[in-house]
Amino acid sequence: MLQRGLKKRVGSALVFISLWIGVGVVLGISNQIPKEPIKWSIKATLPDHPLKPGEQFFLELTARIEEGWHLYSLEQGEGGPTPTRILMPTDQPFGQSGAIDSAEPKTAMDPNFNLLTQYYEGQAIFTVPVKVAVNAPAGKSEVRVNVSFQTCSDELCLPPKTVKLGVEVNIAR
């Protein structure tokens, strides 16, 4: 009887110790993963005169990428990472008016997907041409974009994520 009680307590202690070690490992790993390895910013490049309905301007989206991480480019092969996507919501008086421009990405074998991928390290800048709708109301208005992207290190990929960015512009009449 005494032996059975001792075995039960030893078994409970082993379960407790195993759980404690498991939690420690998970916390240790999660402390090594930055909460946001990519930080985004947005700015509008406007003409020298007041912005008018029907006129074009540019948005500059900058991704600051922590060391050891990379951001995938706008183009990716099938079966690989989620490419970066920049979309403008349709419920605003602005729309994309051409192709998005960006620096040439690096191309290399990605150990996470075992195929060639295109990516950026350090920083990536995307220039989005935007046109003001002809019926845009005069005054201040926020231009909004949604950026969907995936980021990986050499050992780990984070799930795809979407961030919402916006910048205020003034539309004249």
Residue 58 CA: distances (Å) to CA of 33, 98, 132, 149: 34, 10, 11, 21
The model's pTM is: 0.80
Task: Give me the pLDDT at residue 159, please.
Answer: 95
pLDDT band at residue 18, thresholds of 50, 70 and 90? very low
Mean pLDDT of the chain, nearest integer: 86
Cβ neighbours of 74 (radius 10 Å): 17
Nearby residues of 87 by Cβ (< 8 Å), 6 or more positions away? 145, 146, 148
Task: Give me the pLDDT at residue 2, please.
Answer: 52
- 6 token code pair: 């001792």
